[in-house]
Structure formats: structure tokens, C-alpha cells
Amino acid sequence: MKFHGQDEDYQPRNWQEVVRFYSALSLTYENDRLPALSGIASSLISNSNYLAGLRRQSLVFDLNWMHLGTLGSVAKESGVPSWSWAAIKSSVEFFPYEKLNPRLEIIEAECVLKTSNPFGEVSGGFVTLKGATFETCLLPFALKTANAWNGCVYNKHIYLPGIQPVEEISLSFQLDTSELEGLDFASDTVLLLYTTDDVYAYREKENSTLVLRKYSDEEATYQRIGSAICNVKRESVDAPWDDLPCETRVTKIV
């Protein structure tokens, strides 16, 4: 595998290239996903900078992963937190970090290690993030479309509880997996957490979000279930979320 270089500017890109290649490989045991990567991880990332397959120093960008191809299955026995790409058995891709403007503050991020190896298996972990959020329902998105497009759901407008569709804003929503136990598409709402925007977009600003569902009322804890791209027309909306019922909040994801 050829890397761009070892200076700090290229470190996020190098690691994301490793993950892209590695996530496409088939492993016999799902628990092997992180241990099998530990050798190359230790050569590129310091012990304290590694979080279940992500780099602490580029965490805002590394959280912006999405699955490729068909919907992945959950690596149920792995203990990997939902915000890590290693939580699902699927090939993954990242948005080009050079084009993204971070709009998220990392408050805290920790993993629970199963062994003394900081690059090995984990039994859990969390990230606590501060950023702009809003809630939306999944009901307007056609589930048949989700199946036909490998978990990608494209909708013309965003629907928010209690208000009409916002004409200037469109949303592309992607599930991480089809194994979403206990999620009622007819009644449940999800939380969209704004992570980055594309600073090179001209007439539209492209915003990346994590799609989260409530995990526990304690500490407002959520799980990641997907990702979404929200496009906002610049002619009518300068700030991406000003015309939406957006709330800046601290969110814990496990």
C-alpha cells in the first residue's frame, strides 16, 4: 500500500486509506477486525491517539465514514462502539477530509480495552460531542427505496415534526445496517448531528451529519445508525441550520 507521506498533514489521509483497503477484506471472525489491524495501526498511530480504529487527532473527520455496497451486518460480538467503522461488517469510505470544515467539538472520547494492547479488541467506548442537532422522522422516507438503493434513501425535502417541508434543503440518508432492532420507522424520530460542511461547494453547502437513535435517557446517550448528507442552497440560506429548529447540545454516543 502506497502512502502520501509521513508528515502530519497526510496522517488522516494515510489512515483512512488503510481502513478503506482493510474493511473490504473478508475475515473469518468478526472479533479479528481490530486485532488484525493492530500491527499497521501501531506503526502509524500512537497509543493514546487510537480509538477503536479511529485517530483521536482527526476524530471529527474519521467519524464521517459510510458503508459501501450492500448494507453491512452488525459485528455483534466485537464490543466495538457504534461510532466506529469496525462496528459493522462492510466496506467503508470517508469524505475527503481536505474539503471539509469541522463543525463539531470533541468533548471526550474513550475506549475500554479487553487487553493491554491499545490497538486490540475493545469491550465498549464512547465519544461526547458538542454540535448543532435537529430531530427528524424516518416515516417520509420510502423503505422500499432503502432496500433498492442498498440503504441509501434520497428525499427531496427534509421533514421535521410539526412543520412543512423545507424547500431549500434536501437530504440523502444512509443506514449503516439493516439490523436495527427496536426501531419503529413509522413513529420514531432520529437525531441528526452536524459534523462537517464542504467549504468548496459554490451554490450549495453540503453538510455531513451522523444519524443517531436514543440509546439511554442517562446523559442523553445515543447510538449511531447511519449517516446523511444535507444540501442547502446558498442563495436562500447562508448558515446551514438557521432556518431549522436547530439546537446546540452535548451528545454522548456509545
Residue-wise pLDDT tens digits, 198-245: 765 556 677 889 999 998 877 789 999 988 887 766 554 454 444 556
Counting the structural domains of the chain, the total is 1
Task: Please report, for residues 40, 80, 91, 118, 185, the alpha-carbon distance to residue 35 in angstroms, rounded to integers and kept in the order given.
Answer: 10, 12, 17, 10, 35
pTM: 0.82
Tell me whether residue 154 is in a domain. yes
Cα distance between residue 96 and residue 16, in whole Å: 9
1 occurs within a structural domain: no
Domain housing 151: 8-253
Whether residue 3 lies inside any domain: the answer is no
Statement: residue 145 has pLDDT above 50: no
Residue 101 placed within a domain: yes
